[in-house]
A and B are shown apart, each in its own frame.
Chain A
């Protein structure tokens, strides 16, 4: 009986396991391997792919553009994740209330979720077009600015911050916010009402209820959300690639875009793999920690 059961289990899981291995695990490891060999597509025919150890990593880290890109990625992730969490907490609270029109409001908040990243980039490129942006005209009318904001092309910087970086982050947050809101809303609905009632008896203010009841109850869910958002941010690609291609002056370049361009514009698959290898190490590290805590619950 058990043998029959095991046979059934392995037969059922085999197709998924093979595909995950062939199209998931193996390419990841192979990509990591590519970062330790020379792999210049223009030289590969005559020189092959000799092992070069850490040379590719040394090469990318001595490229100031790459170092800037790495810092951009971290800044981009921190900004986007923070904004998504803060706005997400606020909106999920609002949607958790009871008032007429709540369902409609929930639908409206969800809309950006269903806009594909390529389309989101396209819409925002039009919306942020320096000469024709309604936002610029609105700010002019309100008397807040005197010259147009060049959302995607201004190359002035304040430390690591620049207007294009902020604009790109805003697009990313826009696209990813509904996910966070609905995720948190589901968690809010599972907080027992009695906790709030007890707090009310003690005369807690709105803010105190949020701080002492809501936030602690959300902690496990926030940890999951934070992990997913950070991993997503570090591997983010489409919006930066389509909207600015990393420009102006590398200000909005992030690791995935750098990697993609090294590979398909310069045919340096070794440097590209070193860049994506760094994403792999960072996200893999976070994932393993996350999985350990998650799998413990199952076992």
Chain B
């Protein structure tokens, strides 16, 4: 998806274009711009409000009417947040669980996605259908049996149980996304050449395909990580006690226990911290976004 950007010189000036426009088009354009500005306000206000609140001192956050532009910026809320909840511990828990789950899911997904992308074998379409179905149907339709399953294995409130659940729930998405990637990014001639040279199937996959596809695989790993990092539902069920909670559950609980006005700056500080990893990896996966999106469909 490259963008064709016309050279500026080839385009008539802005005012000339406005003059050449019909009245109806001008009205359409003004309306569109007005709605866009309103939408941008809607999109950005909450983000700004979170950031602003997280740097406001205790005294200012309670002032009425609310202060739009704080006079004084302070890091105190970030320190306080860690006193109210073990914030950094929660972040470390989240990182550990999400990274491990993403790693395992990506490895398993790679091998499955590769054969689904390259080979025709009995049952391939059926298996692909099952994986798509699992990816589409909402998680709430399977939480109870999985909850009992994890409980019966004695893994409730353990990292292992949650990682296991995350691998299961990210796997379909990772398989679909990687399958699309293998189909487009790695030409079949690559392993055909390797096979003629006497490589086995696995060797061709391992030595030839994987190295070529590493960037795409990394992107899928990051998406899987984000899915796990953002999750609230599974973590709130499977790992909800003491210091082992993930940051999302920590924030959810904080919100439901009031997160009252007096602590709200600390609360927003915790929210900023819980969002940062996602924003950081966003920079790396930007160009893969579209592939990630269409993973929900077979082909677009």
Contact = CB atoms under 8 A, between A and B. Distances in A.
Interface in A255-279: 255-256, 259-260, 263-264, 269, 272-273, 276-277, 279
A121 B130 contact: no
Interface stretch (A51-59, A106-114, A157-165): A106-114
Interface in B158-215: 164-165, 167-169, 171-172, 175, 201-202, 205
B68 A108 contact: no
A20 B171 contact: yes
B229 A116 contact: yes
Interface in A8-41: 8-10, 12-13, 15-17, 19-28, 30-32, 34
A215 to B, nearest CB: 15
Contacts, number: 310
A149 interface: no
B259 interface: yes
Given A26-B145, A119-B275, A177-B43, A17 B138 contact: no
Given A5-B121, A9-B121, A231-B136, A16 B112 contact: yes
Contact of B299 (A124, A256, A284, A298): A298
B273 to A, nearest CB: 9
Given A25-B130, A132-B64, A245-B256, A276 B50 contact: no
A196 interface: no
B171 A19 contact: yes
A269 B226 CA distance: 30
B146 A295 contact: no
Contact of A224 (B32, B254, B271, B296): B296
A116 B43 contact: no
A48 interface: no
Contact of A24 (B42, B47, B142, B293): B142
Contact of A15 (B24, B111, B130, B141): B111
A99 B163 CA distance: 45
A283 interface: yes
A91 B35 CA distance: 9
A62 interface: no
A147 to B, nearest CB: 15
Determine which residue in A16, A32, A207, A259 has the highest number of CB atoms from chain B within 10 A of its CB, and name it: A16
A235 B68 CA distance: 36
Main secondary structure of the interface of B (DSSP, over half): helix
B1 A186 contact: yes
B232 A238 contact: yes
A241 B164 CA distance: 24
Q: Which size class do B's interface residues fall under?
A: 35 or more
A94 B32 contact: yes
Contacts of A124: 46
B154 interface: no
A28 B112 contact: no
Nearest to A193: B4
Interface string B234-265: 00010000000000110110111001010010
B230 A116 contact: yes
Interface residues of A, number: 110
Interface string B2-36: 01111000000000000000101100110010011
A162 to B, nearest CB: 20
B111 A13 contact: yes
25 contacts: A6-B122, A8-B201, A10-B121, A13-B116, A13-B127, A15-B108, A17-B130, A20-B168, A24-B134, A25-B134, A31-B143, A114-B275, A118-B248, A118-B274, A119-B248, A122-B251, A122-B254, A134-B68, A182-B290, A186-B293, A235-B141, A243-B255, A260-B140, A295-B128, A298-B298
Interface of A: 4-6, 8-10, 12-13, 15-17, 19-28, 30-32, 34, 87, 90-91, 93-94, 98, 108-127, 129, 131-134, 137, 170, 174, 177, 179, 182-183, 186-187, 189-190, 193, 205-207, 220-221, 224, 228, 231-232, 234-238, 241-243, 245, 255-256, 259-260, 263-264, 269, 272-273, 276-277, 279-280, 283-284, 287-288, 290-291, 294-295, 297-299
Interface of B: 1, 3-6, 22, 24-25, 28-29, 32, 35-36, 39-40, 42-47, 49-50, 53, 64-66, 68, 108-109, 111-112, 114-116, 119, 121-122, 124-125, 127-134, 136-146, 149, 164-165, 167-169, 171-172, 175, 201-202, 205, 226, 229-230, 232-233, 237, 248-249, 251-252, 254-256, 259, 261, 264, 267-268, 271, 274-275, 278-279, 282, 289-290, 293-294, 296-300
Given A15-B111, A263-B144, A294-B298, 20 more contacts: A9-B121, A12-B112, A13-B111, A19-B108, A20-B168, A23-B146, A94-B32, A111-B47, A116-B230, A116-B274, A118-B230, A126-B53, A126-B268, A134-B65, A205-B24, A207-B25, A242-B232, A243-B255, A255-B140, A283-B137
Q: Which 10 A-B pairs have the closest CB atoms?
A: A235-B138, A23-B168, A16-B112, A24-B134, A27-B142, A27-B145, A116-B230, A30-B145, A114-B278, A256-B140
